């Protein structure tokens, strides 16, 4: 049981509440808002590093070794990626752009895994140019295109095949990916057939599975890890490498659990080793692909209150200077958050409020029914657990520029992404 006050539970590891309100690693959130403006993404380096190291260490001691490749779809700010690389993780990329981000952050091909259900030839060429360790095939058409490119380049590419095992998980249907109707991967039978008959230029190493995202009960993930070795044995296909994906969730509200990514990775390794022993199989090299569980809790988004009004049904809206342009998850998945006032997070609430974004959509709502202490124009609202799938999904609807981002490290903050200016919005127009 944590000793932290409930409002601080979804915040980064270094968060404390003091005279200046919430601070991360000794840096006041209110001061950051004043210096850098809002909306503002704030990332806590200690939280990122601690979680990344825990996963790297847990998978490295697998019987046949293994490694973790961080999913750039969750977070791709170069300043954060450099921390993750330094902690010992590789890069899981799903596009030419993500491959380039990984390279600019200092990753090489050693721990690079390439994903995507509709990889273009440019994506595949970028994977080859980066000397990616593994490409995860999503179907036979892709395998044939990649094989032709590899033959033309005079090289062989190690590959895995992604299968959809039909395992359901308790998450939003829009982020469940392992069911039989998913657009990702192939059926187990198709996957086995593809591994047996790969095009020239490709070397089959094993299987990949990913069941979904924001999974708070890790048992289905462990169940998939147990099932795959037995399946490979029954089909007589190679399993030198087993990639069990990612998907572990985080706490977004104080009442939710906070899974431990290091402990979860150890459980996966143990499950795979146990079933391999039961089946008389050699334990494969194990690959995991954490994303949200590394960076989600490390992030906080700061907004400035620009209006407070009570409407006809008696509810009170608190309008802020950001919204769906910097946080798509509420509109996409009905995601829930636990915002607080940055300078008085533990003050006695005076009512329940609805927090509205500034975009011209009724769905641009950050949170409903939030208990706050008399919010006023000019207050800074801090929304925790925004380190994953926020900056990477940000957009410019209504021609609002995307937020800046700062990294808090060793008691100081530095800008890692500059705010998008109005002129930037028209840089691509001709």
pLDDT digits (tens, 9 = 90+) for 232-284: 888 998 899 999 998 899 999 999 989 999 999 998 899 889 888 988 989 99
pLDDT digits (tens, 9 = 90+) for 31-72: 999 999 999 999 999 999 999 999 999 999 999 999 999 999
Closest of 180, 250, 168, 253 to residue 212, by C-alpha: 168
H-assigned helices in 288-430: 292-295, 329-333
pLDDT reported for residue 211: 75
CB neighbour burial string for 243-280, b if at least 16 within 10 angstroms, e if fewer: bbbbbbbbbbebebebbbbbebbbbbbebbbebbeeee
Ramachandran class of 334: left when φ > 0, alpha when ψ lies in -120 to 50, beta otherwise: left
Considering the candidates 93, 150, 151, 360, report the single residue annotated as catalytic: 360
pLDDT digits (tens, 9 = 90+) for 130-178: 999 999 999 999 999 999 999 999 999 999 999 987 655 343 343 344 4
Three-class SS state of 113 = strand
The count of C-alpha atoms lying within 13 angstroms of the C-alpha of 371, restricted to the half-sphere facing its C-beta, is: 10
- R_g over Cα of the chain: 22
pLDDT reported for residue 172: 37
pLDDT digits (tens, 9 = 90+) for 336-365: 999 999 999 999 999 999 999 999 999 999
pLDDT reported for residue 149: 98
* Rounded Cα–Cα distance for residues 76 and 98 (Å): 7
| Bridge partner residues of 93 (DSSP) | 114
pTM exceeds cut of 0.85? yes
- All structural domains of the chain, each given as residue ranges with its CATH number in brackets, are 6-45+297-426 (2.40.37.10), 46-293 (3.20.20.10)
CB neighbour burial string for 197-235, b if at least 16 within 10 angstroms, e if fewer: ebbebbebbbbbbbbbbbbbebebbbebbebbbebbeeb
pLDDT digits (tens, 9 = 90+) for 200-219: 999 999 999 877 767 777 67
* 360 included as an active-site residue: yes
Q: Yes or no: say if 375 and 341 are a contact pair by the CB < 8 Å rule.
A: yes
| Helix or strand holding residue 139 (H, E) | none
CB neighbour burial string for 87-107, b if at least 16 within 10 angstroms, e if fewer: bbbbbbbbbbebbebbbebeb
Q: Which contacts of 140-148 are long-range, i.e. CB under 8 A and separated by 24 or more positions?
A: 140/186, 140/190, 140/194, 143/194, 143/198, 143/199, 143/202, 144/199, 145/121, 146/119, 146/199, 146/201, 146/202, 147/198, 147/199, 147/200, 147/201, 147/202, 148/199, 148/201
């Amino acid at each position: 049981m944590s000793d932290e006050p409930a409002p601080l539970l979804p915040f980064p590891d270094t968060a404390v509440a003091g005279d200046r309100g919430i601070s991360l690693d000794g840096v006041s959130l209110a001061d950051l808002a004043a210096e850098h403006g809002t909306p503002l993404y704030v990332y806590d380096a200690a939280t990122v590093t601690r979680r990344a190291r825990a996963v790297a260490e847990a998978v490295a001691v697998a019987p046949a070794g293994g490694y973790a490749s961080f999913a750039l779809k969750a977070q791709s700010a170069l300043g954060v990626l450099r921390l993750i690389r330094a902690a010992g993780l590789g890069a899981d990329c799903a596009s030419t752009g993500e491959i380039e981000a990984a390279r600019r952050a200092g990753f090489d091909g050693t721990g690079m895994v390439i994903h995507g259900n509709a990889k273009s030839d440019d994506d595949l060429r970028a994977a080859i140019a980066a000397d990616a360790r593994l490409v995860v095939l999503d179907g036979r058409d892709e395998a044939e295109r990649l094989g032709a490119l590899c033959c033309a380049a005079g090289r062989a590419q190690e590959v895995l095949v992604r299968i959809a095992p039909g395992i359901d998980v308790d998450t939003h249907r829009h982020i469940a990916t392992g069911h039989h109707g998913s657009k990702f991967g192939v059926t187990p039978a198709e996957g086995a057939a593809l591994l047996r008959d790969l095009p020239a230029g490709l070397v089959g190493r094993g299987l990949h599975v990913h069941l979904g995202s924001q999974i708070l009960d890790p048992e289905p993930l462990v169940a998939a890890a147990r099932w795959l070795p037995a399946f490979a044995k029954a089909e007589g296909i190679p399993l030198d490498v087993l990639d069990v994906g990612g998907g572990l969730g985080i706490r977004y509200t104080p009442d939710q659990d906070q899974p431990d990514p290091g402990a979860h990775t150890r459980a996966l390794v143990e499950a795979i080793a146990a079933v391999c022993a039961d089946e008389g199989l050699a334990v494969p090299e194990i690959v995991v692909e954490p994303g949200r569980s590394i960076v989600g809790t490390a992030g906080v988004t700061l907004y400035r209150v620009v209006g407070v009004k009570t409407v006809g049904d008696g509810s009170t809206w608190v309008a802020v200077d950001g919204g769906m342009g910097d946080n798509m998850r509420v509109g996409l998945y009905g995601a829930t958050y636990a915002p607080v006032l940055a300078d008085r997070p533990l003050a006695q609430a005076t009512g329940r409020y609805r927090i509205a974004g500034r975009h011209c959509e009724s769905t641009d709502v950050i949170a409903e029914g939030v208990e706050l202490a008399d919010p006023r124009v000019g207050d800074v609202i801090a929304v925790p657990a925004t380190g994953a799938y926020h900056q990477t999904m940000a957009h410019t609807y209504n021609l609002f520029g995307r937020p800046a981002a700062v990294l808090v490290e060793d008691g100081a903050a530095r800008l890692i992404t500059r705010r998008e200016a109005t002129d930037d919005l028209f840089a691509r127009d001709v």
